[in-house]
A and B are shown apart, each in its own frame.
Chain A
């Protein structure tokens, strides 16, 4: 649009810049403060945004190293943060792999096959994912409590139970993968079928390689979803050593024991990689939601 900017329009651009900058500051300020708090000595609030003295004590504690102060007093790390990160990673990787494995074959059938009950099942999956697991927390707790009586490693306080509970998220992933499969023309698979490939072969050898991007996306989305999940993990896990990061990081901020600086360092340590991943996945977080909206 080659338009001449009128003075009123120029004024509006500046006003908009001002509003946007104000909001950006509002959005970023809490995050910047965390950086500053994590580098400030002590666990007390106060002090400027740019810390006067830089101290890495909170970072050392977050990494599991003890801190020795000037009087020679040793502060041990308050919580096993690295263990929590490891737990979270373990649960998230297992559940992401399970989600991926469980969703691809279903998505393939929904995208490529016509069978009785197909539409009904698809709609049911769509509606079911509106029921969040927080509504069934007691049931999830009771189920795993009893399951633990028969199969000890699938009881309460087990990472396997948690990873398994997270695979309920497949409903939304099936829709995402199905959409991607449908965007791939079936010609190649048909050609493979003409050459004598079985259904399974044309799925695994022809379609799946073409769909690698969406497989990666589903894996990362399921991984992130499991990394940040709080309610189910808080119900299933109890021992301090077994907690995931999302549950454990809650323990830093109690009025009686207010470890503001230690929390900030932990938050940054764990939060930065996750935040970067979310930023990269930005397009996919809402993918498919708006598809078929205005265009059609």
Chain B
């Protein structure tokens, strides 16, 4: 017992130590702001551990921090990225993109075979490079030293001189194995011929003429060493531009303000598909909530009818679609609906001689998506409705039976009004969940069929969630920032739904599906 309590203290201390380590790493990565935030969290943990007044928070902390780190932080990050140009063309930070340009080299396609000669051993070893260029001329470098293998590499520049005939060669050529060990040092080695041309190692046995292409002038300017022109950083767009205004690869991440939103709402080639996707998303979510609820309620009412025999068996059989994991049942439908090989078209072909294009016709694809998701979702509504029906007093139905009411009257006058209130927040939550049902679209249609008249790849069955997924991870551009901007719009919609749930229905619990 005591050991357990001590164990918890130890866990907390370990968390603090871990945070301090992260903080140090962040500082080394020159991310002072994040490091301070991490340090603050560590301090808070220590405070919690020893403050009597904050005892309750000591218990609350683990769960709340998980929610903060894995729900709130990603949401904040999403909002942050939405205002940048983060994409596959602007992947690196400014520093890394600049480094990439500074390491870029210029070559005229010349090369020499090289072998490395060594005199002496260990730290006292001295090296000389023996070279033969493509015209058959031999060269020998001045003597130089290299840091020991494993030590940090430092750049060395060595002059080359023509090798006289019969000049004795010091030492033995190094075997490839030893070369590989020295590779980090050799990579920084610059050999210079008398015409001042720099040569760098391009493979184990070959050097090529590789002159540095750009040199740093100040933080925002580089000099193009080839023609002396100036290259400037364009921080508004996130690229380095040469004198003619041409953008250089790679671009870098930068803040672009509302540019992504302006693109979504202002550029018709983005706005038009966005509206289409939005309308379909809303209709899909509402239709689906309606269908699953209607079907689920029907089954729940039917299965609560005492005159019906075998209700337990029906219940299990009808619940089964929900019990099968979606990552299995959705691909099953993908296979069954397959236009050429699927069982459904096989049967339809046999019976009616038709082969509907479930994945190529927009209306059919949408109908299929709705059907499949209704199949997946109605058992959940059925279970929910069953729970609520149990709570309706039996005498209400007895009274209505005495009054001679039929099942339809019962449903409309007793059942629906009584379950409407507890059901409403669950329906709103179900709407929100279907609104973001990425799994269904990603596994069933991947948005197919794609519209042919749009510039961005988007399909008739794409929901907002799968549309952003495609923008971010699938189709070429990998525009993370644009995806985040769309996600942030969905945040607002979900927040509205959550607000409605909280205000109108007293914060009944949101649900899984």
Chain A 260-285 per-residue mask, 1 if CB under 8 angstroms from chain B, else 0: 10011001001100111011001001
- Residue from B56, B307, B473, B491 in contact with A13 in the complex, judged by beta carbons closer than 8 Å: B307
Distance to closest chain B CB from A166 (angstroms):
8
Chain B 296-332 per-residue mask, 1 if CB under 8 angstroms from chain A, else 0: 0001001001111000001011111111111111011
Across the A-B interface, give the 10 residue pairs with the lowest CB-CB distance, nearest first: A106-B63, A168-B70, A293-B422, A136-B74, A294-B391, A139-B77, A109-B59, A278-B323, A115-B56, A246-B327
Q: Which residues of A contact B341 (CB under 8 A)?
A: 44-45, 258, 260
Closest A residue to B314 by beta carbon equals A20
Question: Are A282's CB and B383's CB within 8 A?
Answer: yes
Question: Are A294's CB and B308's CB within 8 A?
Answer: no
A side interface size, CB within 8 A = 108
Cβ contacts A to B, 30 pairs, < 8 Å: A19-B302, A20-B318, A24-B317, A45-B343, A102-B66, A103-B63, A109-B56, A128-B72, A130-B494, A130-B497, A131-B491, A131-B495, A134-B438, A135-B436, A135-B468, A135-B487, A137-B469, A138-B472, A138-B483, A139-B484, A142-B81, A168-B66, A231-B469, A249-B327, A263-B331, A271-B324, A279-B320, A282-B319, A289-B387, A295-B391
Q: Which residues of A contact B335 (CB under 8 A)?
A: 45, 253, 258, 260, 263
Stretch of B214-222, B227-235, B450-458, B504-512 that contacts chain A: B504-512
Question: Are A138's CB and B1's CB within 8 A?
Answer: no
Distance to closest chain B CB from A267 (angstroms):
4
Interface residues of B in 51-83 (CB under 8 A from A): 55-57, 59-64, 66-67, 69-78, 81
Q: Which residues of A contact B432 (CB under 8 A)?
A: 130
**Complex Cα spacing A217 to B479, Å:** 40
Chain A 230-244 per-residue mask, 1 if CB under 8 angstroms from chain B, else 0: 110011000000000
Interface residues of B in 384-424 (CB under 8 A from A): 384, 387-388, 391-392, 398, 407, 418-419, 421-422
**Complex Cα spacing A205 to B498, Å:** 38
Q: Which residues of B contact A275 (CB under 8 A)?
A: 320, 323-325
Q: Which residues of A contact B55 (CB under 8 A)?
A: 199
Question: Are A294's CB and B392's CB within 8 A?
Answer: yes
Q: Which residues of A contact B331 (CB under 8 A)?
A: 249-250, 252-253, 263, 267
Given the contacts A131-B71, A135-B491, A278-B323, A290 and B57 also touching, CB distance less than 8 Å? no
Interface residues of B in 435-494 (CB under 8 A from A): 436, 438-439, 442-443, 465, 468-469, 472-473, 480, 483-484, 487, 490-491, 494
A-B contact count (CB 8 A): 309
**Which of B64, B67, B73, B316 has most A Cβ within 10 Å?**
B67
A contact set with B: CB distance below 8 Å: 1, 5, 9, 12-13, 16-17, 19-20, 23-24, 26-28, 30-31, 33-34, 44-46, 98, 101-103, 105-110, 113, 115, 118, 121, 123, 125-143, 149-151, 164-165, 167-168, 170-172, 174-175, 198-201, 204-205, 227-228, 230-231, 234-235, 245-246, 249-250, 252-253, 255, 258, 260, 263-264, 267, 270-271, 274-276, 278-279, 282, 285-286, 288-290, 292-295
**Complex Cα spacing A23 to B299, Å:** 10
Q: Which residues of B contact A201 (CB under 8 A)?
A: 1, 5
Given A28-B320, A118-B56, A127-B502, 7 additional A-B pairs, CB 8 A: A24-B318, A30-B336, A105-B63, A201-B5, A205-B1, A258-B338, A260-B335
